[in-house]
Structure 1
């Protein structure tokens, strides 16, 4: 695993009183966001509390009144739902990051494959399960199902899929060896040395993987705006790139 650079958030405005920032973020962002939040806290004195889960779960909690200040979703769909519910502060939504979808294996000796219509995933599973996030609601699972469907593989492999609450839970199934293969984001694979990328899904096989971020209607403190700005600052960009995210302009 690559070591994250130690960077100061020199661009942040000084705010006299310490405040709390509550962030709801897609589970796939944990490895990158934890150090960004820690460095923000050290530079400003503000406290950042982060709840990680599937974007669908977080969006539903926000729409049900959870007091979050900032939301980062792993797909535009769930941010759209939160926006339709009137929970986004106007003019604060931005497309923050991109990602890639990969096939990972628990076995370090597993051969790399070119993922396409001829790929025999059932044979590769050898009686085991294909770990995926929930395919009808969690972005990583939705992207994965779309990719498999596009390649003509979904109907064959669907009976062998083990669905998990979020992408990090799917990663854990492969990491522990409970599932021989899994579909996760490239950044998740990079965060866990016990799994091995054996294939990348064609970008044309699914919608672009985009992480929108926004300040929520509840996030009225200056620290909330400062942290959202910090996520789009050069220091954060470097940390995101170190974890394999694509920084969007």
Structure 2
């Protein structure tokens, strides 16, 4: 009797193992699997393109989740969200369009974080580099020539254009520059007009000028001439998934902040 017990126990173990194998092969139970990757969609101001793409690359080492971006003017992104476009995180280049999204009940107000700042600069084509003093004596004729244009964002809606109008108005320059302004759909579109020589000058953010190869900064607008340039980050209401919250936290962490600083942003 005692000699047969080990054999019986072994037989039972073999039978259990066989049953488990059969169940697995039939799909009755599942083998443990790797954590499922989720997707996070970020609607972000165009001026953040390069920095956020680098941050997403760094995040790959931390998470299997896929980070997707839609870069455009903050105004366009807010309107797209209002129309039902799916996003998990919204990053605007000004408070106006986050205020708009908040008023439309599109974001979680408690998540709203003013994370970054920037500077407003005047740029010219690299082959016509020069330095100018930006004050109330700046002349449109001297800067742009008889027919030249000044490129910036649409001054009624695109954040960089709103800042530009505020600065020119504060300096008493709006009336003489207004007929020369070409309003672009985003700061990157305004930058491209100057890079291609289609505009004699442009008003963009310092971070955009820094990554451009074919423009030079002619001067920096006094910080006192326009509202502070602020980039608020917020989670989208109803889309604040665990994956979205994890990436949102990473955006506010030290590794992401170091990348923002590398691109010339000021971390608030």
What is the aligned counterpart of 2:153 among 133, 136, 161?
133
Q: 2:139 corresponds to which residue?
A: 120
Larger relative contact order (CA 8 Å, sep ≥ 6): 1
Q: 2:126 corresponds to which residue?
A: 107
TM-aligned CA deviation for residue 217 of structure 1: 1.1
* 1:215 and 2:235 matched: yes
Q: 2:60 corresponds to which residue?
A: 41
Contact 2:153 2:160 in 1 (8 A): yes
State how far apart, in whole Å, the 2-side matches of 1:107 and 1:193 are.
8
State how far apart, in whole Å, the 2-side matches of 1:90 and 1:27 are.
23
> How many residue pairs align between the two structures?
234
Give CA deviations for 1:182-206 in whole Å, capped at 9, x if unaligned.
0000000011121100100000000
Structure 1 residue ranges without an equivalent (≥5): 1-14
Of structures 1 and 2, the larger Rg is shown by 2
Q: How does the TM-score come out when normalised to structure 1?
A: 0.91
State how far apart, in whole Å, the 2-side matches of 1:76 and 1:220 are.
20
Greater share of residues in helix: 2
Structure 2 residue ranges without an equivalent (≥5): 1-33
Return structure 1 stretches of 4+ with deviation > 4 angstroms. none
Assess, with a 3 A threshold, how the Cα gap between structure 1 residues 111 and 90 changes in structure 2: closer, same or farther: closer
SS at match of 1:212: strand
Q: 1:243 corresponds to which residue?
A: 263
> Superposition RMSD on alpha carbons, in Å?
1.2
Q: How does the TM-score come out when normalised to structure 2?
A: 0.85
TM-aligned CA deviation for residue 208 of structure 1: 0.3
State how far apart, in whole Å, the 1-side matches of 2:88 and 2:197 are.
37
Contact 2:102 2:109 in 1 (8 A): no
* 1:206 and 2:206 matched: no
Give CA deviations for 1:60-90 in whole Å, capped at 9, x if unaligned.
1111211110000000110011011111124
Q: 1:79 corresponds to which residue?
A: 98
